[in-house]
Structure 1
Amino acid sequence: MTTIRTERTGVHVFTAVNDRGASVEVGRAGQEGVFSPVELLLAAAAGCVGITAEELVMRRTGVAPKVEATDVRPAGAHQLDGVRIEVDLGGVDEATRAEVVAVVNRAVAALCTVTRTLKRSTAVEMGVG
């Protein structure tokens, strides 16, 4: 089980801390020096895809992938537009290129917990004490 604890550290600013002591500041969109919750979600999706794809791509091509996640706001609601992996495959043959795309797509579908989680809804509970 993974638990992230957040504590208010300022007006509309929270610090999120994991069990290993790593922390990140989360704040309202537009605030300087902090990630908004949506930006953290995009970073998590892109990071998960990148971590999943990295070794597969590097082993076959020697080229490090770059990953980008984009948010769109149709009718005022946030929606993950998608996650895009960029890899310069100009130096590899067509068969290797097709293999890299297929292997990465399978691995991300099977192993990337963030993008798989985003496909499901998340329950939000409020504890009142």
Structure 2
Amino acid sequence: MTLEVQRDSEHEFVGRNERGAEVRIGRNGQAGSFSPAELLQIAAAGCSAVTAEALITRRVGEDSKFRVEVSADRREGASELDAVYVNFDVPLDGLDQAQREALAAAVDRAIERLCTVSRTLKKGIPVNETFPIA
């Protein structure tokens, strides 16, 4: 699968996949776009949500809505994140305490085993860039 990022104008880029999806990318604070660091966080939250969806809907209802919020620690002026925090907001009214704890444990296990983004961030992989010089 090929992904690309194309510059549209100053500080404005569009990321695309082969299925026709697009995402606006810009500098931190750029109106109407995500910064690259925000996309990294969204990827972590999205991967967790997709991974946990079946577990959650099976226990709280197939039509249930839930949110996954994400934030990060970043030192002032740093060009890296120090930690990413993924927090689920799931309506658990119909579950007793033991069921809630079992669901939380199952979600944690699934994310640890299956979430490509979180697993990759925890692993810390090399990123290699190439730039044409010839």
Q: Is TM more than 0.5 here?
A: yes
Distance 1:124 1:36 in 2: 20
Query: 2:65 maps to which residue?
Result: 64
Q: Select between 78-87 and 23-32 the one with higher mean Cα deviation.
A: 78-87
CA offset at residue 118 of structure 1? 1.1
Residues 59-112 of structure 1: CA deviation (Å, up to 9, x unaligned) = 112243310110221253323331111213232112211210111011011111
Give the alignment partner of residue 88 of structure 2, picking from 85, 88, 91.
85
Q: Name the SS for the 2:31 alignment partner.
A: coil
How many residues in Structure 1 have an aligned counterpart in Structure 2?
Answer: 128
Query: 2:26 maps to which residue?
Result: 27
Task: Mark the CA change 1:122 to 1:64 in structure 2 (over 3 Å): closer, same or farther.
Answer: farther
Residues 67 and 84 in structure 1, CA contact (< 8 A), matched pair in contact too = yes
Identity in percent: 45
Query: 1:108 maps to which residue?
Result: 111
Is 1:55–2:33 an aligned residue pair?
A: no
Give the TM-score of the pair, scaled to structure 1: 0.89
Residues 47 and 115 in structure 2, CA contact (< 8 A), matched pair in contact too = yes
Query: 2:131 maps to which residue?
Result: 127
Structure 2: tracts of 5 or more residues without a match = none
Distance 2:110 2:82 in 1: 23
